[in-house]
């Protein structure tokens, strides 16, 4: 009997980081890729058999029906065709993932292998842990080797194994062997990989741990919020927390949502600039807006077209659509609506050539003047009056020093630098930390951090009026990463988890105002630290660890 035998050894590289499992004995029958024909030819043969035999049998049975011949009466050729068809079906099922037959055989062979070679294979627990990560057992070696050799695409592991955690572990081991680099320290256990399948991250090999701190309470519009912030920068949470303390001690902050609308701007091309201008005039005509809006709004229950802003460049036309999106951030929603309108316009403008659904006039994930001037997502202004005694006792500076520093740093300094929407101290810090904690798209931090910070002495120069104006905060409380367990918990902490059933878009709008309020706190604290000369000392104290990182165990 042909016994399946496989012996492995663990080889350690000089660097001590990478381990390879080598095959020492080949006295077994391998997978179809080791057959006489190349894999692609073998597959082609069985595919050809399957379809040709299916056609042959259907043709013969149709003739029997026409001639009233009983179907159970089969000839020798029909019998051979049926058997060959079954053989091709078994092969195709086995190869393309429905491998219960193969699994039973593999398990039986593995049991035999364990009995025969119980004295030959001896690996202590330490070597086993180094050679293979947890849950990667000997029976999975064939899959790992197939991924390494390229015969099984890494991206197909989830669909083949029907086990997302196991797929991540096998992919991780394959990456280590292919790169010769250890991934020790990158955790793979303890994460729900099912929750990201097909929507958040492809080909996962683990997850990154980012600590989450809380700042607050932030007293905003008469309510208190404890703000979660995911960051690896020391002092950031503490600084924002100090700003929240100063705001609360002064009676709180207030916010106003100025505008709420996500944008998408496709680019279309015509044969001439004159023809492009005709579409521009058509879109700008108020009489046509209602018809276009009806077409656009079919894409979703929450999508409502607000405006159309066309811009022409030669024979190319850029059309910036703006719409409300409920509690979702809304990129997919607005894109579907735009596609509906483009299909509708083709009837009147059949010569219109759609170059791209996005022509960067949107503008998404890029610093752009159109977002700074026109806004994108939620446009919010947030303000507070900080009392003189709070400025002195909590912030350790003076109103006069803060006003002067804001003018020379945030306004004049940013103007000299040619800044676009960057008239602030560090709005991006707070926006990024809250975005990561609550499952927003971190890349949209680019335009979401557009902010101008204003400071002015009020009440006869005693108190400080501070405000932040942020025209393009792009957030949502449903969809994307917001549904992951950790991010969902952070949204729940703020009281904005999921969709607001009573008032659609209320949760996402509230989240945007909380972001602006947190930025206000962060701006107030950092500017005070700079004005008081505390910035360097605080970072040297809290942002420089004296621990030996190599000895820290996760």
pLDDT digits (tens, 9 = 90+) for 324-366: 999 999 999 999 999 999 999 999 999 999 999 999 999 999 9
Active-site residue, selected from the candidate residues 20, 102, 135, 539: 539
Max avg pLDDT among 33-37, 198-202, 461-465: 461-465
Rounded Cα distance, 377 and 447, in Å = 10
Per the CB < 8 A criterion, the answer to whether 313 and 349 are in contact is no
pLDDT at 397 over 90: yes
**Segment 381-403 mean pLDDT:** 97
> 227 or 61: whose pLDDT is higher?
227
The helix or strand, by DSSP H or E, that contains position 378, with its residue range, turns out to be strand 377-386
Q: Are 326 and 499 in contact (CB under 8 A)?
A: yes
Pairing of strands 223-230, 212-220: antiparallel
- Catalytic option among 18, 365, 396, 409: 365
Q: Binning pLDDT at 50, 70 and 90, where does residue 220 land?
A: very high
Report the length, in residues, of the chain.
554
Q: What percent of the chain has pLDDT over 90?
A: 69
* Beta strands in 133-252, from DSSP E residues, in sequence order: 212-220, 223-230
Query: Where does CATH 3.30.70.420 sit in the chain?
Result: 266-356
DSSP assigned state of 210: -
End-to-end Cα, the chain, rounded Å? 49
Q: What is the pLDDT of residues 269-328, one digit of tens each?
A: 999 999 999 999 999 999 999 999 999 999 888 999 999 999 999 999 999 999 999 999
163 counts as catalytic: no
Highest mean pLDDT among 14-23, 92-101, 496-505: 496-505
The architecture in CATH of the region 212-260+378-543 reads Alpha-Beta Complex (3.90)
Question: Of the residues 17, 233, 383, 456, which is catalytic?
Answer: 233
Q: Is 233 annotated as catalytic?
A: yes
Asked if 460 and 469 count as a contact pair (C-beta separation under 8 A), the reply is no
pLDDT of residue 237: 97
Segment 437-451 mean pLDDT? 97
All CATH 3.90.770.10 domain ranges of the chain, comma separated, are 212-260+378-543
Encoded tokens for 158: 């989830």
What's the confidence (pLDDT) of residue 36?
54
CA dist list (Å): 526 to 224, 236, 239, 372, 483:
22, 9, 7, 23, 32
Q: What is the pLDDT of residue 132?
A: 44
Helix, strand, or coil (residue 181): coil
Contact 439, 238 (CB under 8 A): no
Q: Which of 140, 142, 441, 456 is catalytic?
A: 441
- List, for residues 74-116, the tens digit of each pLDDT value: 788 888 888 888 887 887 777 665 544 444 444 444 444 444 4
* Alpha helices, DSSP H, located in 20-75: 39-66
How many whole angstroms separate alpha carbon 501 and alpha carbon 504? 6
pLDDT at 15 over 90: no
Mark whether 351 is an active-site residue: no
Instruction: Tell me which fold the domain 266-356 belongs to.
Output: Alpha-Beta Plaits (3.30.70)
Per-residue pLDDT band for 552 (boundaries 50, 70, 90) equals very low
């Amino acid at each position: 009997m042909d016994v399946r035998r496989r012996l492995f050894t663990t080889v350690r590289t000089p660097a001590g980081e990478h381990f390879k499992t080598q095959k020492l004995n080949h006295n077994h029958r391998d997978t179809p890729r080791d057959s006489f024909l190349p894999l692609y030819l073998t597959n082609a043969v069985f595919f050809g058999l399957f379809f040709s035999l299916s056609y042959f049998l259907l043709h013969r049975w149709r003739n029997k029906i026409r001639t009233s011949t009983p179907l159970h009466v089969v000839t020798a050729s029909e019998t051979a065709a049926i058997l060959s068809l079954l053989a091709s079906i078994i092969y195709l099922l086995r190869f393309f993932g429905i491998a219960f037959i193969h699994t039973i055989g593999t398990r039986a062979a593995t049991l035999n292998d364990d009995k025969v070679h119980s004295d030959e294979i001896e690996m202590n627990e330490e070597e086993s842990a180094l050679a293979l990560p947890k849950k990667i057992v000997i029976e999975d070696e064939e899959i790992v080797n197939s991924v390494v050799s390229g015969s099984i695409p890494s991206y197909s592991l989830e669909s083949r194994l029907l086990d997302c955690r196991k797929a991540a572990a096998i992919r991780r081991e394959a990456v280590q062997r292919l790169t010769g680099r250890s991934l020790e320290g990158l955790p793979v256990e303890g994460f729900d990989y099912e929750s990201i399948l097909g929507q958040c991250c492809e080909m996962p090999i683990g997850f990154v741990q980012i600590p989450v701190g809380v700042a607050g309470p932030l007293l905003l519009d008469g309510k208190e919020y404890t703000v979660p912030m995911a960051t690896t920068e020391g002092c950031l949470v503490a600084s924002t927390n100090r700003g929240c303390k100063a705001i609360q001690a002064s009676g709180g902050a207030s916010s106003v949502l100025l505008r709420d609308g996500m944008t998408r701007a496709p680019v279309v091309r015509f044969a001439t600039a004159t023809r492009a201008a005709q579409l521009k005039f058509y879109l700008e005509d108020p009489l046509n807006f209602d018809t276009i809006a009806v077409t656009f709004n079919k894409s979703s229950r929450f999508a409502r077209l607000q405006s159309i802003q066309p811009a022409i460049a030669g024979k190319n036309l850029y059309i910036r659509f703006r719409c409300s999106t409920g509690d979702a951030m809304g990129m997919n929603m607005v894109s579907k609506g735009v596609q509906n309108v483009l299909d509708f316009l083709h009837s009147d403008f059949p010569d219109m050539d759609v170059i791209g659904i996005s022509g960067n006039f949107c503008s998404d994930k890029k610093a752009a003047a159109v977002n700074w001037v026109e806004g994108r997502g939620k446009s919010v202004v947030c303000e507070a009056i900080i009392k003189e005694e709070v400025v002195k006792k909590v912030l350790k500076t003076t109103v006069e020093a803060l006003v002067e520093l804001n003018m020379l740093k945030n306004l004049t300094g940013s103007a000299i630098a040619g800044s676009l929407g960057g008239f602030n101290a560090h709005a991006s810090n707070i926006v990024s930390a809250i975005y990561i904690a609550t499952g927003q798209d971190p890349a949209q931090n680019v335009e979401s951090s557009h902010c101008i910070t204003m400071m002015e002495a009020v009440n006869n120069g005693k108190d400080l009026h501070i405000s932040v104006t942020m025209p393009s905060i792009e957030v949502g409380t449903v969809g994307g990463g917001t549904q992951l367990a950790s991010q969902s918990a952070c949204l729940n902490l703020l009281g904005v988890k999921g969709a607001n059933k009573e008032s659609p878009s209320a949760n996402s709008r509230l989240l945007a105002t909380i972001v602006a309020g947190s930025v206000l706190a962060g701006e107030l604290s950092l500017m005070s630290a700079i004005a008081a000369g505390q910035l360097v000392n605080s970072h040297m104290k809290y942002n420089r660890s004296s621990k030996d990182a190599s000895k820290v165990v996760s």
